[in-house]
Structure 1
């Protein structure tokens, strides 16, 4: 049994022939547009049949690295990395990886080339220990101290995340790299069984740190960042739990609640996570192009959105007034009609409404 033999027709007619004559960036683009979707569907289908068979997975990855390596580098590296048998896979696939992939600028290079000391007889754990010790500037003993009741890594991680998103300019690539590596750490140490207590501590500390930042000084749209990370993870061959940091839609939190039979700490974690994600979605307004909002929508949002996100809408209103572009009679009329609806009335801030009327009183007369 092998992936190649099971997919001979596809590899000939769906891969080799369409890509024949294409090289370099042109070949990559052709693959992404016309071949990748079906190729990945077949990868996943085959993987599901062999996911618990190490020898079959080794053969499978050797085949993919040989044929698809230059076209699917990130996908293959991180699929191997997030596999529950990553240590065995990396040890046996070192030669294949170095032969078919370019690791020069890859963050995972040290792991795949075993340039780190193992920890607990695991190169993956050794890589994570070295990576987070360096990134978070941990002291020599902090890595060993992290457990269910002590949180030195969690404390330093939440501080690092908040400092990074408020730094100018932000290093978004490093941010995504840290979250991906923490997701791997989370899957190794806290998902068998799923540690809802640790998840609650992490999301609570992150929420409290995040609240201290002026939303207008945040330089990274975390909602977009987390969505990109989760999309990337969802496309990999294994199905890792998302870490509590990036669990935007609470998929892993809900899986944890089910695994723990809806224990109270699972539910508290879920509720805290929802609170944090709602705050992120509110703050994402600071990264929107509000110049495209029509006046009625802009004024409705200014009157109904909670602080601090409301500041973004008020700032856009002020900008338009300064440019001499106030709303016209028709736009004011549409606005007054919409604020009369019950769903708007329930969340309406009457003080903001009064300010808008005062600033545009001629149109309201």
Structure 2
């Protein structure tokens, strides 16, 4: 059975309701009324395949015919992460090029389409090499010298990322890099899962990250990772995650088959948890802390640790130094808080100073 025959009534309804719509109206109608159900049906059809290249190509051909003009990016990412990505893209190249219509799609297909005419057996590997060499300003031999024990590409990615973290407007580039790095990882380091390479990445990253003043952060990498994971989780093809996106180590654990962890694997799991926790903690530096009421800020300070606590403390100190006064009710609340917690912690010292500066008669 084909996707078209299995979903005949759904497709008929879709066509009849949308036949008079074009452009933004058609896109809006699809997004609102049909996208969710369409993607569920795509996933169901893909899951029913026997995994052969021919069956996948036939399915993608149908999906591009029915939904390509409306959901090309979604379908392209699925093909990209498919284990048969190169032969699938080459067999579907005419259809994809036609759907793009010679116009910029704003996605990685712009770069990939330029390689279709080469009919390279290593289309995806060639694309990744071209993408990362350009992004990182690598020499060709540096890409070739990346091995299980040598790390010029990993080191360059870390250096590039460290610069992006303190650069305004780098979020989209970081997001794209994470998505392509995850594909790179699935090809070169996922079978078996290379925990040693992952540990090198984390070590190099933290070596640079720890030298950054948190107040200098301009790119919220946790948000970029969250968006990347959201993109990958929405796809219907199986995903092998990279150290960036394997938040719960699911891709790593999928290969464990019940055996005990080696020491390297144990360290990798610990470092993965540390990486994602620290990136998540750093999101506090992207919040508008100035708008948080005094009492909420104090409570958040006391309930947090590490980088998050540091950020709240900086805001408390800023308010104290600049004379940003609490309201009378907030002063009463701060006084009640101090009466319950008489430990002279840095937080309490700041609060006592604020009370003395603004409403001495409340002390």
After TM superposition, is the score higher than 0.5?
yes
Are 1:208 and 2:207 counterparts?
yes
User: Which position in structure 2 is the counterpart of 1:92?
Assistant: 91
Name the CA shift for 1:190/1:332 in 2 (closer, same or farther; >3 Å). Answer: farther
Residues 123-173 of structure 1 deviation map (CA, whole Å, 9 limit, x = unaligned) = 111111111112111122111211221111110011111111212x23222
Where do 1:139-288 residues align within 5 Å?
A: 139-167=139-167, 169-255=168-254, 261-288=260-287
* Correspondence for 2:36: 37
Report the secondary structure of 1:241's partner residue.
coil
Aligned match of 1:289:
288
- Whether contact under 8 Å (1:116, 1:126) holds in the other structure is no
8 Å CA contact 1:223–1:248 kept in 2: the answer is no
Q: Quote how far apart the aligned CAs of 1:62 are.
A: 0.9
Which range is displaced more, 314-323 or 240-249? 314-323
C-alpha distance in 1, partners of 2:161/2:331? Answer: 42
CA distance in 2: counterparts of 1:201 and 1:339, whole angstroms: 49
Contact 2:313 2:347 in 1 (8 A): no
Q: Which residue of 2 aligns with 1:7?
A: 7
How far residue 6 of structure 1 moved from its aligned partner, in angstroms, is: 0.6
- 1:179-207 deviations in whole A, cap 9, x for unaligned? 11111100001111111111121122112
Any stretches of 5+ residues in structure 2 without a counterpart? none
CA distance in 2, matches of 1:319, 1:22: 55
CA contact (8 A) 2:202 2:271 kept: yes
CA pair 364-230 structure 1, distance change in 2 beyond 3 A? farther
After superposition, the Cα gap between the structure-2 partners of 1:313 and 1:16, relative to the gap in structure 1 and judged at 3 Å, is: same
Larger deviation: 99-108 or 45-54? 99-108
Q: Hey, what's the Cα distance between the residues in 1 that align with 2:344 and 2:261?
A: 37
Q: Do the aligned partners of 2:220 and 2:283 also contact (CA within 8 Å) in 1?
A: yes
- Quote the Cα distance in structure 2 between the aligned partners of 1:306 and 1:363: 33
Aligned equivalents of 2:173, 2:259: Cα separation in 1: 33
Question: Which residue number corresponds to residue 358 of structure 1?
Answer: 353
Which residue does the alignment assign to 2:110? 109
- Do the aligned partners of 1:118 and 1:125 also contact (CA within 8 Å) in 2? no
Task: Give the CA deviation at 1:237.
Answer: 2.1
Structure 1 unmatched runs, 5+: none
How far, CA to CA, are the matches of 2:338 and 2:59 in structure 1? 59
Q: Spell out the pairing of 1:17-32 with structure 2 (5 A cutoff).
A: 17-32=16-31
Q: Is the 8 A contact 1:226 1:248 kept in 2?
A: no
CA contact (8 A) 2:325 2:354 kept: no
Map of 1:83 onto structure 2: 82
TM-score (normalised: structure 1)? 0.88
**Contact 2:93/2:116 (CA < 8 Å) preserved in 1?**
no
Kept after mapping to 2: 8 A contact 1:62/1:93: yes
Equivalent residue pairs, number: 357
Q: Distance in 2 between matches of 1:313 and 1:31?
A: 44
The Cα of 1:97 is off from its aligned counterpart by 0.6
Match of 1:66 in 2: 65
